[in-house]
Structure 1
């Protein structure tokens, strides 16, 4: 009986994955509102704080998952997969926070169409990550496993779209922007935003590995 009490419920990990994914979506939505309302300094600051709040909440979940890995005798999936999944998801939250901070640090004066498009793709990617994460607790069901793989494929497509948008944005930037400082600012921001979708693709790759191993 005592031995059984020492084993945390397997569902704890899946629940925490979902909690973390929810916090990352919150950060993405707050960042999107920051971009949408960028001309309003008060709203910009408000949404910047919301991004920070969501990122810190995600960090707390990550810390708890990493702590629980070492306390749990039997885990529902491989320990390395748990560690890689939660920490890669946390990288997404960090990149959203980094993007908001970089825009403030570089004193970006205005948001252009390229930033808006990259933000939109990043938000869609993060939302798909949440959908995929929600499915991994039920991979014994073939339909659920197939749905998870299809969601991961959609994340891959969104990442490819983001990569194309960034390449076009960079080409336009170097052709048309005469101010070197603006070039440096925008280049850094484009790269950060595209990296969000790259990291979502990394999450999708981890999930695909879990699906293939456990379905």
Structure 2
């Protein structure tokens, strides 16, 4: 009985995943609002600060998950899965923050339609990531496991859409942009934005693996 009392419990990993997912969505929405209102400097700075706030909050959650892993003997899913998932989720917000900062550092004056489109796809991917993560505590239920897999498939499709948008954007950029500096700036931004959906797909792949092993 004493050993049972001393044995560290499972902890609140799923709650922390869900909180992190919430910050991902908050960061993605703030990024979208930033690029949609880019010509308004005050709003641009306001929403960029909200992206930073979400990223910092997510960092704290990631650190708490890693601390909890060291203190917990029995975990609800495999320890490597927990570590891989929280860090993959953290990569999403890191890229959102990097994209926000890059627009400022590169002194981008106006937002092309392609950036808006890639940002929209990234935001939708982030929303799907949060939804998939919210289903993790109930994977033992067949309907919930199926819903998680379906959500991961939706993320995969969005990532493919982002690939197509980026290829089209790159083609247009190299055909029409005569200013080499602008070409270099926009090429880097397109690639960075497309990488957000790639990281969302990484999370989807990890969740699909968790579903297969735990449902």
TM score, norm. by length of structure 2: 0.98
Name 2:55's counterpart in structure 1: 55
In structure 2, what is the Cα distance between the partners aligned to 1:54 and 1:108? 23
In structure 2, what is the Cα distance between the partners aligned to 1:179 and 1:8? 60
In structure 2, what is the Cα distance between the partners aligned to 1:97 and 1:120? 15
Pairing 1:80–2:80 present? yes
Per-residue deviation, residues 57-108 of structure 1 (Å, max 9, x unmatched) = 0000000001111110000000000000000000000000000000000000
In structure 2, what is the Cα distance between the partners aligned to 1:112 and 1:43? 18
Q: Give the Å deviation of 1:11.
A: 5.5
Q: Give the Å deviation of 1:6.
A: 4.1
Name 1:109's counterpart in structure 2: 109
> Which runs of 5 or more residues in structure 2 are unaligned?
none
- Closer, same or farther: CA 3–26 of 1 in aligned 2, 3 Å: farther
- 2:11–2:68 Cα contact (<8 Å) kept: no
Name 1:171's counterpart in structure 2: 171
Per-residue deviation, residues 85-135 of structure 1 (Å, max 9, x unmatched) = 000000000000000000000000000110000000000000000000000
- 2:24–2:92 Cα contact (<8 Å) kept: yes
In structure 1, what is the Cα distance between the partners aligned to 2:48 and 2:2? 47
Per-residue deviation, residues 153-197 of structure 1 (Å, max 9, x unmatched) = 000000000000000000000000000000010001000100000
Give the aligned CA root-mean-square deviation in angstroms.
Answer: 1.0
Note the 1:1-215 alignment, pairs <5 A.
1-10=1-10, 12-215=12-215
In structure 2, what is the Cα distance between the partners aligned to 1:7 and 1:46? 46
In structure 2, what is the Cα distance between the partners aligned to 1:178 and 1:6? 68
- Partner-residue secondary structure (3-state), 1:73: coil
- Partner-residue secondary structure (3-state), 2:12: helix
- Closer, same or farther: CA 152–99 of 1 in aligned 2, 3 Å: same
TM score, norm. by length of structure 1: 0.98
- Closer, same or farther: CA 51–6 of 1 in aligned 2, 3 Å: farther
